[in-house]
Structures are given as C-alpha cells and as structure tokens.
Amino acid sequence: MNKSLQSTFILVAFYLISNMPLLSQMLNYTMTTVGRHNDEVLAVFVNEANTMFATGSLDETIKLWSLPDGKELNTLKGHLGAVYNVSFSGNDKLLASGSEDMTVRIWDVATGKELKVLRGHLGPVIGVYFSQDDNSALVASTSFDKTVKLWDVASGTEVKTLRGHTEATNNVAYSYDGKTIASCSDDSTIRIWSTDLHTTAPLMILRGHHAPVLTVLYSFDSKKLASSDADGMVIIWDAKTGEILRKFKAHNDITQDVAFAADNKTLVTGSLDHHVKLWDTDGPNLLMDMDLGVGVWSVDLVSDASIITVACDDGTVRLLKRNDNTKPVKTKKGRK
C-alpha cells in the first residue's frame, strides 16, 4: 500500500472514531423503582427547585415524591377520572392537574389540599401547564373539546378560550418568558398563541408532523420548542420563526413526552416502545438509551439531567440516576 493512501486511511479512521459520540460519550444511568400507583402512570413533572416531583395516574390520584431519594410524600385524591397531566407553578407552591373528569384542579403542594376545581371544558382535560411567573397567575389547559383554555387561578375564572385546532388538543406549554403558549393536537399541528388576553388568533401554525402531536415544550431560554408524535418523531423548532431546526426518529412507538434539561439542548424522550433516551439535540446525538421493559408514558428530569423521572404503564414510578463517573450536562439557571 502506498504511503499516502495509508496516511489517508489513518486520517479517515481517526476522523470516524473521533466522531462516534454515540459510543464514546454514552452516559450511564442506573434505574430504581421508587414506588407505584394502582394503575398506569400517565404524567410526571419535576418542580423548579428539583426537590420534588408529581405523578398523575389512571388510578385517579396524584402522588408527590421527594428528590433525589424518591420517597413518596403525599397522595392527592379528588378527581373522578384518570389524571392525564400535572404541572407545578413557577413558585412550586401550587400544582395543577387535568383529568378525564373534565376538570382542572389546583392543589396546595405543602398541605395536599384541593384549592380550586375549574370547570368549563366540554371534554376530558388532557394537558395542563402553569404560567411560570412568580405569581403563578394563570393555568393553560387542553382537552378533547379541541380548545385551549386559560384560567385565572385566583378567581377560578376562564379568561380566554383559544380555538382553531380541528381535533383534540393534547398538550400545552407556557414559554418561560411568559409571552406565548404552544398547543399540540391530533390534527398534527402545533399552534403558538399570545398570552395577551385580548389576542385569540394563533401567532403561528407549525406543520411538520405527520401524526397526532402528543406533546410540546419550550426550552428554558424560550428560544426552542420540542414536540413528539404518535409515530415516534421528535422535532426541534425555532420558537420565534417556526422553522424546523432538527427532525429525527426518536422511537418506534407512541412518544408521549419529552423534557429539556437546563442547558436548553439536552432532551429526554420516553415512549411506549419501552425506551427512555437522552439526546444532544444539536446533533442530534444519542447520549443514553435504556430499555425499561415497560411502556413509558411520561418523563422529566432535574436541571443537570442527573436524575430522570419516569412514569410507566405498569404503574411503577422510576428514577434513572446518572452514575457519577459519566459526563455531566452543563447547567444554567432555569427550572428542571
């Protein structure tokens, strides 16, 4: 073999090896089951301070758990149907839940007391998301009735109904700058709405999914949106322009939930294909892939992605903890 060819071969091999982060930089996590509901666990949400997480279940209850140890703290009862989603307020004092019983309920996190029952949706409530301002003034909700509603928490009144989705609305998220709301739907679109109470037309309609869009979430700097769909596709959007930044097949089954870490680029995804995956969305590069052996309905993580909380379809609540010897995710100030 001639020398220059040999050098080229070595260079190419070196390039290929050095560009294999999938193997060289994979993060190691250890799974523990910390408890269970009496039925499938549909939702999980980590609070701002990373000291607690909440789960919602088909068993009609909400449970609060401590972090990092995963000790069960309280069980909140009151819904008369599956609890599809939960969300802490920006100040961690309140929790909102959305249920099959068509209500949004507001709970006092410290006491577990039900503070408000918000009735107004004409179908099961699928998504809830608290505004992340210090006052935690508003809650957004989505429903099988195709609408997105905004509720004033203090008075319990419906201050805005956003219409336009042509099928059930699945999930909703507030941007962390408080300016916009994103909703996703079985109609395969994402709609961006102003939080200004007098604007009711969508600011943007994002098209790119070819299946029901199951979740949507802003990054902490409010610059990006992540969404996932029933075919296992994940899309990262420019939140300002609506441009698709990344689109990739993350899973082989329904991918019900995603969550950003505080670095605004690390994303966890969970699917009914039994896998939880951690991604560097700049690639996208797969940082971790764990087969849990059960379907995953919902995932969330703490700010530095050292702990991933998982809601499973066998009723278990699991924590994936990163082993200390693996590379940490760079953190910035922000929730989760």
Partner 1 sequence: MKKFTIVFAVISMLFITNNLYSQLVKTVVSVEGEVYDAITHKPLSLYVEVVNADGKRIQKVQSNLQDGSYFITGLTPGGNFEIRIAELDYMKQYFPLFLPNTDKYMEYSKDINLIPKKVGTKILIPVKLFEVGKSSLKYGSDLFLKDYVNLLKLNPTVSVKIVSFADENNSSKNPDLTNQRSAAIKDFLIQNGIEDRRITTQGVLTTDPAFPPPIGKASKGKKYVGTNYLVIEGL
Q: How many residues does the chain have?
A: 336
Return the range that interacts with partner 1 (CB under 8 A); candidates 3-11, 20-28, 76-84, 273-281. Answer: 76-84
Q: Does 81 bind partner 1 (CB under 8 A)?
A: yes
- Closest approach, Cβ 157 to partner 1, in A, equals 6
Rounded CA-CA distance 160/76 in Å is 28
Q: Does 35 bind partner 1 (CB under 8 A)?
A: no
Give the residue carrying structure tokens 């899309």: 235
Query: How big is the CA angle at 309 (ends 221 and 147), to the nearest 5 degrees?
Result: 60
Q: Does 201 bind partner 1 (CB under 8 A)?
A: no
> 78 near 87, Cβ under 8 Å?
no
Rounded CA-CA distance 271/188 in Å is 18
Rounded CA-CA distance 140/174 in Å is 8
- Closest approach, Cβ 101 to partner 1, in A, equals 4
Q: Does 102 bind partner 1 (CB under 8 A)?
A: yes
Q: Does 186 bind partner 1 (CB under 8 A)?
A: no
Return the range that interacts with partner 1 (CB under 8 A); candidates 15-23, 26-34, 118-126, 173-181. Answer: 118-126
Which one, 39 or 289, has the nearer CB to partner 1? 39
Return the range that interacts with partner 1 (CB under 8 A); candidates 117-125, 188-196, 205-213, 320-328. Answer: 117-125
Taking CB under 8 A as the criterion, the residue among 78, 90, 98, 164 binding partner 1 is 78
Q: Does 48 bind partner 1 (CB under 8 A)?
A: no
Q: Does 164 bind partner 1 (CB under 8 A)?
A: no
Q: Does 145 bind partner 1 (CB under 8 A)?
A: yes
Which one, 164 or 284, has the nearer CB to partner 1? 164
Q: Does 159 bind partner 1 (CB under 8 A)?
A: yes
- Closest by CA to 98, choosing from 113, 78, 112, is 78
> 188 near 211, Cβ under 8 Å?
yes
Residues that contact partner 1, how many (by CB under 8 A): 35
Rounded CA-CA distance 125/114 in Å is 17
User: Rounded to an integer, what is the distance from CA 178 to the centroid of its chain?
Assistant: 17
φ and ψ at 247, to 5 degrees?
A: -145, 125
Rounded CA-CA distance 248/263 in Å is 20
Rounded CA-CA distance 39/266 in Å is 30
Rounded CA-CA distance 333/336 in Å is 9
- Closest approach, Cβ 31 to partner 1, in A, equals 20
Which one, 304 or 313, has the nearer CB to partner 1? 313
Taking CB under 8 A as the criterion, the residue among 204, 314, 321, 334 binding partner 1 is 314
Which one, 7 or 38, has the nearer CB to partner 1? 38
For the chain, what is the total number of helices (H) and then of strands (E)? Answer: 2, 28
- Closest approach, Cβ 78 to partner 1, in A, equals 6
Taking CB under 8 A as the criterion, the residue among 12, 15, 77, 249 binding partner 1 is 77
When computed from its CA atoms, the radius of gyration of the chain, rounded to whole angstroms, is 20
Residues lying near partner 1 in the complex (CB under 8 A) are found at 39-40, 58-60, 77-81, 100-102, 117, 120-122, 145, 147, 149, 152, 154-161, 163, 197-198, 313-315
